[in-house]
């Protein structure tokens, strides 16, 4: 038979083994749960989200928010951010994208921030952006600046834009990239979501970021 | 020509003319209330021609607005571009489907901002000077379709 000392040792060993098994089971469970939430690159691509293997650094140029405050170099750090490059006089694609984003984020527990970056900065003053975005969602943010400053940001994010003369003399529209840019929690360019956008599609992508 | 013959002729002409007028309708016409500070909006719905022959819409009007035109948002190499479509031809066999991120009637120069719940009336004149009216329901700014979401 075992002595008391031996019995205590066996109990300790069994306790440690049980603890290790519990930790391992917890890790397996955690891995299982997170596997269901996080999208693989392939799943993301099927939904239209092109996620880079290596996020790219972004240098934030001098820009202003819709509250007319300087966009600091750390502005896009600390949370996920979605950037859409559009303009307030755009009648179809921009309000549609903002309405889709509004619906997609409505059931997300911790939603990323949404920014409309103006590609018509001469017309889209901070006050105009604030008025416009408030109509969609009070949490939506605006970014504007000079044409060169917006171009500096856009170029780093593979976004192109340019004024095009309209049908009537003196009128114009602005052609622009339709993708939604994704910045990760460290402010790096993580990927982009191709247009056209649908609420269900965006919701799946956002939950899986 | 007697008065009687003239009257019969006039009535016959009227019946023939009525038959010749194609019925053009906008089904499920809707738009969003324009965002604050914006004097334009996009109208969606299905334009159908119930007649037997093609119809060309030569003029679209909305009281209190500058211009109404058919535009199409097209994606070209990742770029969203706006294309003005003129003339607007409605085939009797095919509806012209207008939906977000595609075809839409673009209204510019609104004197006031229509609010959700209002109904707008678009006056459409064909190349043969026939006049049709399209009703458009104004939805909230965040709407994604003809029924409020």
Query: B83-128: per-residue pLDDT in tens?
Result: 999 999 999 989 999 999 999 999 999 999 999 999 999 999 999 9
Give, in words, the CATH class of B23-139: mainly beta
At A4 the three-state DSSP class reads helix
Among residues B140, B138, B144, B143, the alpha carbon closest in space to that of B62 is found at B138
Locate the domains of chain B by residue range: 23-139
* Cα end-to-end distance, chain A, whole Å: 58
Q: Which of B42, B59, B80, B86 to mutate to test the interface with A (most CBs of A within 10 A)?
A: B80
Phi-psi region of B27 (alpha: psi -120 to 50; beta: other; left: phi over 0): beta
Read off the tokens for A173: 């529209």
- Residue A22: per-residue pLDDT: 85
Q: What residues of A are in contact with residue B86 (Cβ under 8 Å)?
A: 167
- Residue B8: per-residue pLDDT: 53
Phi-psi region of A170 (alpha: psi -120 to 50; beta: other; left: phi over 0): left
Neighbour count for residue A182 (Cβ, 10 Å): 26
At A33 the three-state DSSP class reads helix
Determine, for residues A91 and B40 on separate chains, whether the beta-carbon distance falls below 8 Å.
Answer: yes
Query: A50-61: per-residue pLDDT in tens?
Result: 999 999 999 999
Query: B9-55: per-residue pLDDT in tens?
Result: 544 444 444 445 669 999 999 999 999 999 999 999 999 999 999 99
């Amino acid at each position: 038979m075992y002595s008391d000392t031996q019995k205590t040792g066996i109990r300790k060993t069994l306790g440690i083994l049980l603890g290790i098994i519990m930790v391992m089971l917890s890790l397996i469970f955690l891995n299982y749960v997170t596997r269901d939430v996080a999208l693989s690159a392939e799943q993301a691509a099927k939904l239209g989200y092109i996620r880079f293997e290596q996020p790219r650094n972004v240098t934030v140029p001098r820009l202003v928010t819709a509250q007319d405050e300087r966009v600091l170099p750390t502005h896009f750090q600390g949370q996920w951010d979605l950037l859409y490059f559009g303009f307030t006089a755009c009648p179809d694609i921009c309000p549609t994208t903002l309405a889709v984003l509004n619906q997609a984020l409505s059931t997300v527990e911790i939603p990323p921030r949404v920014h409309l970056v103006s590609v018509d900065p001469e017309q889209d003053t901070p006050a105009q952006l604030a008025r416009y975005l408030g109509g969609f969602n009070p949490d939506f943010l605006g970014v504007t600046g000079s044409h060169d400053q917006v171009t500096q940001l856009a170029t780093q994010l593979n976004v192109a834009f340019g004024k095009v003369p309209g049908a009537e003399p003196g009128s114009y529209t602005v052609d622009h990239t339709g993708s939604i840019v994704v910045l990760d929690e460290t402010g790096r360019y993580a990927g982009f979501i191709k247009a056209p956008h649908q609420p269900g599609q965006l919701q799946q992508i956002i939950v899986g970021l | 020509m007697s008065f009687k013959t003239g009257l019969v002729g006039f009535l016959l002409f009227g019946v023939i003319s009525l038959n010749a007028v194609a019925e053009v309708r906008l089904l499920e016409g809707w738009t969003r209330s324009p965002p604050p500070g914006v004097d334009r909006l996009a109208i969606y719905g299905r334009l159908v021609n119930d007649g037997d022959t093609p119809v060309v819409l030569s003029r679209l009007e909305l009281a209190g607005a500058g211009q109404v035109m058919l535009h199409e948002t097209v994606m070209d190499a990742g770029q969203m571009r706006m294309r003005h479509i003129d003339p607007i031809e409605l085939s009797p066999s095919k509806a012209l489907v207008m939906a977000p991120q595609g075809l839409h009637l673009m209204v510019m120069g609104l004197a006031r901002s229509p609010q959700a719940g209002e109904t707008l009336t678009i006056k459409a004149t064909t190349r043969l000077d026939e006049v049709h009216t399209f009703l458009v329901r104004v939805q909230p700014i965040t709407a994604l379709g003809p029924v409020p979401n």
